[in-house]
A and B are shown apart, each in its own frame.
Chain A
Amino acid sequence: MSTLSLLPLESRTRRRRWVPATILILLVAFALIGPWVFASPFAQDLSRYLEPPSLTEPLGRDEYGRSVVSRLAHATRLSLVLASLSVATALLLGTTLGTMAAWRGGWLDSVLRGISESFVAMPALLIVLLFAALAADGSLWALYAGLALAQWVEYFRVVRARAALILGSPAVEAAELLHLGRLHVVRRHLLPELRPLLLTLASLGMVTAILAMSTLGFIKVGLQPPRAELGLMITEAFPHYDAAPWLALAPVVVLFALTVSLLGLRRKEDSR
């Protein structure tokens, strides 16, 4: 998951970040409101299969006459919720462990670094795939756990490296002299300094998670039909690419918009 090295050298300026932000807000709104507004994503109207987009069904119906816009809303919500939860978990876990490793040092540091050395060489998709296999009965817990486990190491490495530097800096030594304690140091010095970097990592992590989920859906490992998931929707719609191109296009556009807007949110100064 060497996402860091993927940051394009050119990056958007602050002013141009409102475009991805708007797209993302629209998508989040769609994901939050859509499932309430549209019909059930499973309700079939078999007599209306592959119906083209219309006023009542803005994205048409799929091969079983299910509402595509409703399935898309559910799928977007699934992607966003699972991605945010797993990234939040990974961030929390990685930051905590990273700080602890740098703070305590010694055997704890060695053990954690040993573990992280193994994890950093493991493809995230492999870990998520193995966990997703668990989720074949539709349980989202396994997928969530896999996504979180695949990502924590990135935060751990970054936080540990920065924390080791900061905990040894003169400002911190001064704080120690003043008996302000290390927690104070972490809160006042470490976290503020890490925040922009962690935010960037998190937005990249969201992209990784969303792509991993849809990829697994696409190769049909893990979540099973009739669940609405972006990758699954694409794989289900692809056989109809000539008869009903909008069917595959809709989830592809949403997926692309999600990843592009998340990538576009990064700050210039974080992109190394």
Chain B
Amino acid sequence: MRIPARLAAPLLTAALLAATGCTATAEERSEALRIVGPFEVHSLDPATSQAFFTRLEVAETLVGADINGELVPGLATEWTHESHTTWTFELPHDAEFHDGTPVTGDAVAASLAKVADVEASPLSAIGIDAITGDEHSVRFELTEPFLTLPATLTHYSTMVLAPSSWDEDGHVTDVIGSGPYQVDHVEFPGSIEVSAYDGWRGEAPAIERLTFQSVSRPESRALMAASDQADIVFGLEPAGRQRVEAAPNVEMVSALQPRTLLLKVNGDHPVLGDPRVRLALSKALDRPGMATAVLREDDLAATQLIPPSLSAWHDEALEPLTQDLDGARDLLAEAGWEQQSDGSWQRDGETLRLSLVTYPDRAELPALATAIQAAFAELGIGLDVNVTNSSEIPAGHADGTLELGLLARHFALVSDPLVTVADTFAPEGSDWGAMNWHDDEVGAAITALLRGAEGAEGEEHRRTVVEAVHEELPLIPVAWYRMNAAVNSRVADFVMDPLEHTWRLSGASWQQ
């Protein structure tokens, strides 16, 4: 019973180590590249896997995308379409799944047919008559022309798994893909371990093992990056970035993401239906100030809706959206509002007061909402901010009660932004896009693009869309988004893909 205090600590540690069954074997093989990110592993199923298995290059999609978002061969080596409704994707002859079975057209067709029914997959938006396979090709029969099919097939939900991945109830029990890495172990919701697959048809990856760990607290991620507990850490917040930048052996890399933080505006609203009011609201915002304060980077202030990383849809010629309080006052006056002595605005006895809905799942949204509230207040417009569940925005869209919604919109869910743009400005509106706003010219231009308009004609149509949206502001852009990662100096050849089609680690290597 007489245990001196100074003995207690070592005893304790020893006991703890013994209690957990010291896993020394796992640590000896420590040449794994350790990836840490905020997202959790929820499922093995393609549509619900949230891209982990394509990013870790376990499973492949038929079509890939390069760092600029251009389509490149994925599992399919090439693709052709006889008519706009019949597409054929050729498969390599030497591809095999990680269970050793060959990748056949039948297997691919069976895998894709399963996801084609899942409402959340972009593939379900395409009218598909049949997906059939033969020895080395897959054929899509569509009910209507859909030129963005190859782009849609870059989406992670269309990853191809071996037939043995599913049990008889239709649940995925193992992710058996055809990529350079195979799954060794998955622990929900925290971690995935993969290792190089011997039978991979391409060049063997230089880094043989990868581990992914989900860490939800941002300060913990920053700590792991700064203290050599991880090799690549995604999703660092401003405070953590500074800490990592100060640490030796770690470097921050970043790339502009095709994501915009924006205000969704109800185009049918008695006040907001007037484009002049929308423009006035836009002119009230000090975007560089907000970007500096909330995102800690002033160049993330949005000057137009689509960020520069999507070069085809970003128009440098557009006049940047900037703060202009006098201009905003003039516009409000033009729209029939009169400023009162207390600074507020009235029209026909009604005071200008708006409400905004946003959600806390992205930490910067509530902060931006209060910044917007402050900016509007400076102009004399009251704003009620409601931070609630994200579903309240689509719900308010559906029943027409939404006035303003602050949200983050990704414009390249599949590698061709056209798919997302078309959805965002669909004439009937979109949950995360425009609301009660439509413009015939924009509609016509998008239809023409979807029908395959290319070259100068395509350019013209895109400009039509971008310019109309910039003038009318059915969505008021606030800020763009940068994706960042802390990379340990022992990792070489790491390339950041802003579309995160894969994390491109089969091409990375250890620093010599």
* A touching B, CB within 8 angstroms: yes
Complex Cα spacing A88 to B243, Å: 46
Complex Cα spacing A238 to B240, Å: 11
Question: A240 contacts B239, CB within 8 Å?
Answer: yes
Interface with A: B363-371, B420-428, B491-499, which one? B363-371
Interface with B: A28-36, A42-50, A108-116, which one? A42-50
Interface with A: B109-117, B137-145, B288-296, B477-485, which one? B288-296
Question: B219 contacts A64, CB within 8 Å?
Answer: no
Residues of B contacting A47 in the complex (Cβ-Cβ under 8 angstroms): 289, 292-293
Residues of B contacting A46 in the complex (Cβ-Cβ under 8 angstroms): 289-290, 292-294, 371, 374
User: What per-residue 1/0 map shows which CB atoms of A219-243 lie under 8 Å from chain B?
Assistant: 0000011100000000000111111
Q: Which residue of A lies closest to B242 (CB)?
A: A243
Min CB–CB distance B218 → chain A (angstroms):
6
| B228 proximal to A (CB < 8 A) | no
Question: B293 contacts A49, CB within 8 Å?
Answer: yes
Question: B294 contacts A137, CB within 8 Å?
Answer: no
Q: Which residue of A lies closest to B218 (CB)?
A: A239
| A136 proximal to B (CB < 8 A) | yes
Select which of B222, B363, B370 is within 8 A of A44 by beta carbon: B370
Interface of B: prevailing SS: helix
Question: B366 contacts A65, CB within 8 Å?
Answer: no
| B208 proximal to A (CB < 8 A) | no
Complex Cα spacing A225 to B222, Å: 22
In the complex with contacts A44-B371, A239-B219, A226-B237 CB distance below 8 A: no
Complex Cα spacing A196 to B250, Å: 60
Select which of A239, A241, A242 is within 8 A of B237 by beta carbon: A239
* In the complex, chain B residues 221-252 whose Cβ is within 8 Å of any chain A Cβ: 222, 237-240, 242-243
Q: How many residues of B contact A (CB 8 A)?
A: 25
* In the complex, chain A residues 226-271 whose Cβ is within 8 Å of any chain B Cβ: 226, 238-243
Complex Cα spacing A42 to B372, Å: 12
User: What per-residue 1/0 map shows which CB atoms of B415-451 lie under 8 Å from chain A?
Assistant: 0000000000000000000000000000000000000
Question: B389 contacts A43, CB within 8 Å?
Answer: no
* In the complex, chain A residues 89-141 whose Cβ is within 8 Å of any chain B Cβ: 136-138
In the complex with contacts A46-B290, A238-B219, A225-B387 CB distance below 8 A: yes
Residues of B contacting A242 in the complex (Cβ-Cβ under 8 angstroms): 243
Min CB–CB distance B297 → chain A (angstroms):
13
Complex Cα spacing A44 to B376, Å: 13
| B400 proximal to A (CB < 8 A) | no
Min CB–CB distance B364 → chain A (angstroms):
10
User: What per-residue 1/0 map shows which CB atoms of B281-317 lie under 8 Å from chain A?
Assistant: 0000000011011100000000000000000000000
Complex Cα spacing A136 to B388, Å: 7
Q: Which residue of B lies closest to A137 (CB)?
A: B388
Residues of A contacting B374 in the complex (Cβ-Cβ under 8 angstroms): 43-44, 46
Residues of B contacting A65 in the complex (Cβ-Cβ under 8 angstroms): 293
Min CB–CB distance A229 → chain B (angstroms):
13
Complex Cα spacing A137 to B373, Å: 19
Complex Cα spacing A164 to B343, Å: 67
Among A46, A136, A224, A242, the one with the most B-chain Cβ atoms within 10 Å of its Cβ is A46
User: What per-residue 1/0 map shows which CB atoms of B364-401 lie under 8 Å from chain A?
Assistant: 00110011011000000000000111000000000000
| B360 proximal to A (CB < 8 A) | yes
Select which of B243, B387, B388 is within 8 A of A226 by beta carbon: B387
Min CB–CB distance B331 → chain A (angstroms):
24
Select which of B222, B237, B243, B387 is within 8 A of A224 by beta carbon: B387
Q: Which residue of B lies closest to A225 (CB)?
A: B366
Complex Cα spacing A113 to B387, Å: 42
Min CB–CB distance B413 → chain A (angstroms):
27
| A154 proximal to B (CB < 8 A) | no
Select which of B237, B367, B387 is within 8 A of A138 by beta carbon: B387
Residues of B contacting A137 in the complex (Cβ-Cβ under 8 angstroms): 388-389
Question: A226 contacts B370, CB within 8 Å?
Answer: yes
Question: B370 contacts A136, CB within 8 Å?
Answer: no
Complex Cα spacing A133 to B243, Å: 33
Q: Which residue of A lies closest to B238 (CB)?
A: A63
Min CB–CB distance A224 → chain B (angstroms):
5
Q: Which residue of B lies closest to A226 (CB)?
A: B366
Q: Which residue of B lies closest to A65 (CB)?
A: B293
* In the complex, chain A residues 148-162 whose Cβ is within 8 Å of any chain B Cβ: none
Question: B294 contacts A64, CB within 8 Å?
Answer: yes
Q: Which residue of B lies closest to A64 (CB)?
A: B367
Question: B293 contacts A64, CB within 8 Å?
Answer: yes
Residues of B contacting A44 in the complex (Cβ-Cβ under 8 angstroms): 293, 367, 370-371, 374
Residues of B contacting A64 in the complex (Cβ-Cβ under 8 angstroms): 293-294, 367, 370-371
Residues of A contacting B360 in the complex (Cβ-Cβ under 8 angstroms): 224-225
Residues of B contacting A243 in the complex (Cβ-Cβ under 8 angstroms): 239, 242
Residues of A contacting B240 in the complex (Cβ-Cβ under 8 angstroms): 239
Residues of B contacting A238 in the complex (Cβ-Cβ under 8 angstroms): 219
Among A64, A239, A242, the one with the most B-chain Cβ atoms within 10 Å of its Cβ is A239
Complex Cα spacing A242 to B226, Å: 13
Min CB–CB distance A227 → chain B (angstroms):
9
Q: Which residue of A lies closest to B289 (CB)?
A: A46
Among B237, B370, B371, the one with the most A-chain Cβ atoms within 10 Å of its Cβ is B370
In the complex with contacts A47-B293, A49-B293, A65-B293, A239-B222 CB distance below 8 A: yes
Min CB–CB distance A40 → chain B (angstroms):
10
Min CB–CB distance B301 → chain A (angstroms):
12
* In the complex, chain A residues 31-83 whose Cβ is within 8 Å of any chain B Cβ: 42-44, 46-47, 49, 63-65
* In the complex, chain A residues 179-219 whose Cβ is within 8 Å of any chain B Cβ: none
Min CB–CB distance A233 → chain B (angstroms):
14
Complex Cα spacing A49 to B242, Å: 15
Residues of A contacting B366 in the complex (Cβ-Cβ under 8 angstroms): 224-226
Residues of A contacting B222 in the complex (Cβ-Cβ under 8 angstroms): 239
Residues of B contacting A49 in the complex (Cβ-Cβ under 8 angstroms): 293
Question: A226 contacts B367, CB within 8 Å?
Answer: yes
Min CB–CB distance A93 → chain B (angstroms):
31
Residues of A contacting B293 in the complex (Cβ-Cβ under 8 angstroms): 44, 46-47, 49, 64-65
Residues of A contacting B294 in the complex (Cβ-Cβ under 8 angstroms): 46, 64
Other than the given A47-B293, A224-B366, 8 more pairs (CB < 8 A) read A44-B370, A63-B239, A64-B294, A224-B360, A226-B387, A240-B239, A242-B243, A243-B239
**Residues in A lying within 8 Å of B, measured CB to CB:** 42-44, 46-47, 49, 63-65, 136-138, 224-226, 238-243
Name the 5 nearest CB pairs between A and B, nearest first. Answer: A46-B293, A239-B219, A239-B239, A224-B360, A225-B366
13 of the cross-chain contacts (CB-CB < 8 Å) are A42-B370, A44-B367, A46-B294, A46-B371, A46-B374, A63-B239, A64-B370, A65-B293, A138-B388, A225-B360, A226-B370, A242-B243, A243-B239
